[in-house]
Amino acid sequence: MGTGKRGLLTAAVTVVCAVTVLAAPGTAFAAPSRTPSPTSSPSASPTPPPSKDLEKVREKLDKLYHDAAVATDVYNAAEEKTKEQSALIVELAKKIVEGQQKLERLKNQAGAAARAQYRTGGLPPTAQFLLSDDPQQFIDGAGTVLNGQRATTKLITEMTRTQKDLQGYADDASAQWQKLEANRKAKAAAKKKIKQQISEAEQLESRLEKKERERLAELEQQAAYQAQTKWLDTGILDEINGKASAQGKKAVEFASAQLGKPYVWGAEGPKSYDCSGLTSQAWANAGHPIPRTSQEQWKQLKHVDIKDMRPGDLIIYFDDASHVAMYVGDGAIIHAPRPGRTVTVAGAGSMPILGVVRPDA
């Protein structure tokens, strides 16, 4: 590992350790307090408590970004399918060309047989054989006729099968084109929804004053800290002691090296990532490709109990499996949160956990 990567990994571990200390069971999280300004006095108004309006804003933003994440999964899934269907259509096109060339050769063989018959006066081999007075020619002709019949039957059978194959390839190609078009429409619709949700969220945030944005950030931190503390207070961390596999270590190392890179929906590196883009690329880098989307990762990868999870495993969040993160140990995850944020370390219990999957089970 290069010096740069060691530095990034060390920094990641340091942050993870800090999260662990802060998140020890029984310890409640609190948003970082702000240092009073020199002009502060006992009579100065303290930071106002979370207003219902700001709490509603936070909830609205969470929903908007969640819906954008769901749409991003739809977009990514459609993108993967269009790639697969495009590749399949190319293969079918090659088979159609090969089939047409084969059919042309068979037609040429049939034409050659017809021309040979013409050169013998238009009489087929069977008729010539029956009209012969020469016993030897009669004997030789019997074999020739039999071979000719077999060759003709084989030629007709081969032409029929080739024509049938060509029709099948054409039908498959047509069906794949229809699926490709449907997935292109799904991509376009998902892209439109993603942009709408993100735009609405950004407009909502832009209407807030600086102090309100700061307070909103505190509310978000408090919500995450409270969720993490509640999760740790169950004592779950005492049960989680699995060690990473060799591939799991490589996946964690890759994810750690991406810390600080921006979230961009639909991105899978190397300069930016969405949540499943990060996890899928981490495991691809570890030599074990996995599905592209969080929903497919949840569907296709082996499920393991939370108490059995180990670094490198993926934690799937929310009932609709719309978010995924990589567990890195000590109750922490690395993930790409949402638009406007960067790849970061967070508490594994800071969001509602659906379950855990293991890519290299």
Give the catalytic positions in this structure: 275, 323, 335
Structure confidence by residue, pLDDT tens digits, 55-76: 888 888 888 888 888 888 888 8
For residues 358 and 301, the answer to whether their CB atoms sit within 8 Å is yes
Which pLDDT belongs to residue 276? Answer: 96
Which pLDDT belongs to residue 126? Answer: 53
Residue 16 has pLDDT above 60, yes or no: no
Measure the CA–CA gap between 57 and 205, rounded to whole angstroms: 8
Cβ-based neighbours of 179, under 8 Å, separated by 6 or more: 81, 85
User: pLDDT higher for 284 or 104?
Assistant: 284
Q: What are the residue ranges spanned by the domains of the chain?
A: 75-198
Question: What does the pLDDT average to over 144-150?
Answer: 56
Query: Which of 150-164, 171-185, 215-229 comes out lowest in average pLDDT?
Result: 150-164
Integer-rounded Cα Rg, in Å, for the chain is 34
- DSSP H stretches of helix in the chain: 3-22, 52-119, 125-131, 135-206, 210-232, 236-239, 246-257, 275-285, 294-300
Output the six-digit token pair for 89: 């259509």
Which pLDDT belongs to residue 324? Answer: 97
Judged by DSSP in three states, 346 sits in strand
Mean per-residue pLDDT over the chain, rounded = 78
CA distances from 17 to 2, 213, 233, 277, 329 (A): 22, 28, 17, 25, 9
Measure the CA–CA gap between 293 and 80, rounded to whole angstroms: 9
Residue 147 has pLDDT above 60, yes or no: no
- The model carries a pTM of 0.64
Judged by DSSP in three states, 142 sits in helix
Residue 49 has pLDDT above 60, yes or no: no
